[in-house]
Amino acid sequence: MSLLEAVWTKIADDALKGNAKAQALILNRSRLLEAAPGERVMREDDEKVLQSYLRQVAAEIKAAEEHS
């Protein structure tokens, strides 16, 4: 796991525990991914890491909801 992935994993864990700052960070970064291609402010490799992370978080949230 890269350092960046470890950081995002920590942020995801915090967000899932109800940390509002972590949740806001994730939502703000995900909005960057939804911007029009000409409006991109993120490097392609950063975008790929973030997309992977968001898929992981979505899977974790879904699994948590299924077990509750």
- Residue from 58, 2, 4, 3 nearest 30 by CA: 58
- Which residue is associated with the tokens 């992981």? 56
The least confident of 2-11, 17-26, 38-47, 54-63 is 38-47
Query: Which H or E run contains 7?
Result: helix 3-16
The number of angstroms, rounded, from the C-alpha of 24 to the middle of its chain's C-alpha atoms is 10
Residue 36: is its pLDDT beyond 80? no
Which pLDDT value is given to residue 40?
A: 61
Residue 12: is its pLDDT beyond 70? yes
**For 40-67, what is the mean pLDDT?**
80
**For 51-63, what is the mean pLDDT?**
83
Which distant-in-sequence residues (6+ apart) come within 8 Å of 40 by Cβ? 32, 47
Residue 18: is its pLDDT beyond 80? yes
Alpha carbon distance 37, 19 (integer Å): 30
